[in-house]
Structure 1
Amino acid sequence: MTKRYFGTDGVRGLANGDLTAELALDLSVAAAHVLAEAGEFEGHRPFAVVGRDTRVSGEFLEAAVVAGLASAGVDVHLLGVLPTPGVAYLTDTLGADLGVMLSASHNPMPDNGIKFLARGGQKLDDALEMAIEERLREEWQRPQGGGVGRVRAREDALDVYVGHLISTVERPLVGIRVVLDCAQGAASEAGPRALVGAGADVTAIHALPDGVNINDGCGSTHLDSLREAVLKDGADVGFALDGDADRCLAVDHEGNVVDGDQILAVLAQSLLEQGRLAKDTVVATVMSNLGFVQAMREAGIGVRQTKVGDRYVLEAMKVSGYSLGGEQSGHVIMSDHATTGDGILTALHVLDRMATTGRSLQDLASVMTRLPQVLVNVPGVDKSRADEDAVVAAAVAEEEAALNGSGRILLRPSGTEPIVRVMVEAPTEDQARGVAERLAGVVRQQLAL
């Protein structure tokens, strides 16, 4: 059986351990061959754009990806450090045949990843990813002479992307004080520039990346420092990005966390009022809080739910023509402006809603009341057996019966990490935590490696 390299968000693993320069080169060659045979390069000399986040390992992985693509006859434009949505945008805008982003998103610094984007800035579908894996390290006829790819730096990449972000906001954000946590990542320059360019008064924190401090106690997975900065500065709002800036979480002026569900609810109502919410429907995942679903229905907004993963949200939006979708984790996709989740774009449009209504984020987010939700990650287990173990299934069924319709349970393997996630919603947090901990114990015992 062919080893699976692709997860729900590209190929990800320990840099120079699981994800080596050799693997990066081989994946790039295979991707070039698969896309060429799919007709993506037909009739013209192909070219790709390559961007990365601030991880030190991104430097050697970038070199490997470029070597692979160029050796396969693909010209390469280097975008440098740029958010994932920036790479997606430039893949589309520049008419590139392929986009490549080197990032492990919110993962710790030692990890890294490779995301491939098809023409138009769209994520590759499962069939293409499987085809790339099947073509790894095959024998092939190498181009020579002028047939090899050429490589050049695209010096204007950041300017083009930031200009696009600013252009999506119609109202100046003058007078709004913002703290932006850049996670020492790919948005450390792009994020502050975009918000300042749109008129906001911005204080940037964790915006001095050194190659090893990305996501280190900061960003969307560590909100304490953002909360402290907002309260200290008396800011109106704070936003936290992750390492590649495709997700965004927020805190209000009192330091209360505003998660992806609440942000999605705020933007859904905004688009509905503007008549720009396609089919009056928002796309979310099964992880979305029940309070979000209830609030949307009360507002006359339909909710289409998918499996967890922004790729499934994107797929549903593309197939059915929806304009807004997202995840509780802060991936928000606004298809009028982007082909993927974009944390900076999300922050800009939340600020635009605040400027338009004159309301605080706390007030806007009160449109929904969150049912207490507890998420327990169980590491060191065989996640491939999570959906098959009879003892685990029986334990879930017993806890669901005890909740008697007053909450819900979701148990799923992570698509990017070797863990199983146990999510429980219940009338009280204590009740939810008790159920989650009991189930986590069963998972830990039954699925131990």
Structure 2
Amino acid sequence: MTRTLFGTDGVRGRANTYPMTAEMALRLGAAAGRFFRRDGTAAHRVVIGKDTRLSGYMLENALTAGLTSTGMNVLLLGPVPTPAVGFLTRSMRADLGVMISASHNPHQDNGIKFFGPDGFKLSDDAEREIEAILAGEIALAQPQNIGRAKRIDDGRGRYQEYAKTTFPVGLRLDGLKVVIDCANGAAYRAAPEVLWELGAEVIPVGVAPNGTNINDRCGSTYTQTAAEAVVAHGADVGICLDGDADRVMILDQTGKVADGDQIMALLAARWAEEGRLHGGTLVATVMSNLGLERFLERRGLRLERTNVGDRYVVEAMRRGGFNLGGEQSGHIVMTDYATTGDGLIAGLQFLAEMARTEQPASALAQSFQTVPQMLKNVRYGAGSQPLAAAAVQAVIADAEARLQGSGRLLIRKSGTEPLVRVMAECEDEVLLAEVVGSIVAAVEAAV
């Protein structure tokens, strides 16, 4: 059975539109509850976190109803980062963790991500089983076995205390002025408080969520706001998180952006020097820049590529016993510290390097020269299969032939939005623009 409901990062869609309706969330909660209660015993619990979207209230209540209807006891965390759910699922000995968030997407969207009892996101096979349960008649609990729901008031505080333990003992952030942009999202309280407690002078941005301003002209997908704050306040560094704080972008003292590739390069080189980089390998996706691969090769290190999606990065890391991976988009996965991408903890590792080396952010944020890369998206309608069109396939084949030996091409459908993503890398920027433009035009014509 193939997955039709789950994408590369849980279930996503526009709020109050299938599959992000209260009715569907209730059934999804019941199916997930039944999946984790297959042994029929009574002592089962699930933790639920969410970001700051208005629709989070609706989905939280619906999921709670579905989960308790199958006998799961629900612990409600309120607004917390996605990595906090992974951490607390394991810490609180829960059978299941749920995060209600559409990550970097606008407030109109929402999503539901599931974590297993080990704190890692569910596998494709587990999601297929949940879909199979969802498609049938879901067995409900007997009246005396219906689950309970309870608010956990200190979930955020528990995560904050853990996040601080990942910062090296003996180092402090005294004297560092840090802009932290929380995207009006899940980390709007946690991130500024952790940085302040470690000694930084904190300039908060995007910390006034109102339900509809998450990721709106702020955060990791819109770094201009934080960059302006860095320059205006004379800050030493900027940290930009996304709506659920599992992604991060770093800004140097001039406002220049370092993406996930640059952050991973810095950490990989540092960890390799310390003998901490397991297998001498960094795991990243097919989207990571060729410059990163060449940077690692010069140091005798290896880049292992996966499909797009931090879950696939984590799966490859676990298979190979590797402890560092991530995505160009800012997911930085450090399994020594977390079970998923953690923007705050990744930002702390960068700050630790600043404190340890006493170098400015600009000296640490650009480890390698990127190969020119171009990415363009083409939106398509329901039922459309533009990549299957013969004309599109012919243009792609021609582009691949033209790039042979001088670059690479990646064409794929997004796993979270109805988009065809056209990405190419090439030292020759004229050729780069030509091949991307030809493919985009062909896809648009097919759409």
| TM-score above 0.5 | yes
SS in 2 for 1:292: helix
1:207-263 Cα offsets, whole Å, 9 max, x none, are: 100111101111111111111111111111111111101100121111211111001
Deviation at 1:197?
Answer: 1.9
Residue in 2 aligned with 1:252? 252
Residue in 2 aligned with 1:124? 122
Residue in 2 aligned with 1:313? 313
Q: 72-81 or 354-363, which moves further after superposition?
A: 354-363
**1:137–1:399 distance in 2 versus 1, CA, 3 Å:** closer
Q: 200-209 or 159-168, which moves further after superposition?
A: 200-209
Please give the TM-score of this superposition, normalised by the length of structure 1: 0.95
Asked if 1:30 is matched to 2:25, the reply is: no
Residue in 2 aligned with 1:327? 327
SS in 1 for 2:37: helix
User: What are the within-5 Å matches in structure 2 for residues 321-360 of structure 1?
Assistant: 321-360=321-360
**Quick one: which amino acid aligns to residue 202 of structure 2?**
V
Aligned 8 A contact 1:10 1:114 in 2: yes
Residue in 2 aligned with 1:364? 364
The 2-side partners of 1:103 and 1:388 are apart by 31
**Quick one: which amino acid aligns to residue 291 of structure 2?**
G
Aligned 8 A contact 2:86 2:120 in 1: yes
**Quick one: which amino acid aligns to residue 321 of structure 1?**
G
The 1-side partners of 2:286 and 2:294 are apart by 13
Q: 162-171 or 191-200, which moves further after superposition?
A: 191-200
**Quick one: which amino acid aligns to residue 375 of structure 1?**
L
**1:412–1:352 distance in 2 versus 1, CA, 3 Å:** same
Deviation at 1:35?
Answer: 2.1
**Quick one: which amino acid aligns to residue 365 of structure 1?**
A
**1:281–1:2 distance in 2 versus 1, CA, 3 Å:** closer
Q: 370-379 or 140-149, which moves further after superposition?
A: 140-149
The 2-side partners of 1:281 and 1:441 are apart by 38
SS in 2 for 1:434: helix
Deviation at 1:412?
Answer: 0.7
Residue in 2 aligned with 1:149? 147
Residue in 1 aligned with 2:380? 380
Deviation at 1:206?
Answer: 0.9
Aligned 8 A contact 2:50 2:79 in 1: yes
User: What are the within-5 Å matches in structure 2 for residues 162-241 of structure 1?
Assistant: 162-170=160-168, 171-241=171-241
Residue in 2 aligned with 1:391? 391
**1:384–1:306 distance in 2 versus 1, CA, 3 Å:** farther
Residue in 2 aligned with 1:79? 77
Deviation at 1:142?
Answer: 2.8
Residue in 2 aligned with 1:65? 63
**Quick one: which amino acid aligns to residue 55 of structure 2?**
S
SS in 2 for 1:424: strand
Aligned 8 A contact 1:375 1:424 in 2: yes
**1:359–1:430 distance in 2 versus 1, CA, 3 Å:** farther
**1:383–1:270 distance in 2 versus 1, CA, 3 Å:** farther
The 2-side partners of 1:386 and 1:270 are apart by 43
Q: 387-396 or 419-428, which moves further after superposition?
A: 387-396
The 2-side partners of 1:286 and 1:160 are apart by 35
Residue in 2 aligned with 1:402? 402
1:366-385 Cα offsets, whole Å, 9 max, x none, are: 32110111110111257873
1:97-133 Cα offsets, whole Å, 9 max, x none, are: 0001100111110111111111111111111111111
- Equivalences, count: 444
The 2-side partners of 1:145 and 1:402 are apart by 66
Residue in 1 aligned with 2:158? 160
Deviation at 1:429?
Answer: 3.9
Deviation at 1:347?
Answer: 0.5
SS in 2 for 1:232: helix
Deviation at 1:138?
Answer: 3.1
SS in 2 for 1:96: coil
**Quick one: which amino acid aligns to residue 340 of structure 2?**
T
SS in 2 for 1:124: coil
**1:26–1:273 distance in 2 versus 1, CA, 3 Å:** same
The 1-side partners of 2:126 and 2:116 are apart by 10
The 2-side partners of 1:306 and 1:237 are apart by 31
**Quick one: which amino acid aligns to residue 287 of structure 1?**
M
1:284-341 Cα offsets, whole Å, 9 max, x none, are: 1111100000001112221111111111100000111100000000001000000000
The 2-side partners of 1:115 and 1:394 are apart by 37
SS in 2 for 1:443: helix
Aligned 8 A contact 1:386 1:412 in 2: no
Taking only the aligned residue pairs, the percentage that are identical comes to 48
4+ residue runs over 6 A deviation: none
Aligned 8 A contact 1:384 1:413 in 2: no
Aligned 8 A contact 2:250 2:365 in 1: no
Residue in 2 aligned with 1:107? 105
The 1-side partners of 2:384 and 2:128 are apart by 18
Deviation at 1:11?
Answer: 0.4
Structure 1: unaligned runs, 5 residues or longer = none
SS in 1 for 2:134: coil
Aligned 8 A contact 1:374 1:429 in 2: no
The 2-side partners of 1:136 and 1:44 are apart by 21
Please give the TM-score of this superposition, normalised by the length of structure 2: 0.96
Q: 390-399 or 346-355, which moves further after superposition?
A: 390-399
**1:312–1:384 distance in 2 versus 1, CA, 3 Å:** farther
In angstroms, what is the RMSD of aligned CA positions? 1.7
**1:285–1:209 distance in 2 versus 1, CA, 3 Å:** same
Asked if 1:282 is matched to 2:282, the reply is: yes
Aligned 8 A contact 1:104 1:112 in 2: yes
SS in 2 for 1:16: coil
Aligned 8 A contact 1:177 1:235 in 2: yes
**Quick one: which amino acid aligns to residue 35 of structure 1?**
F
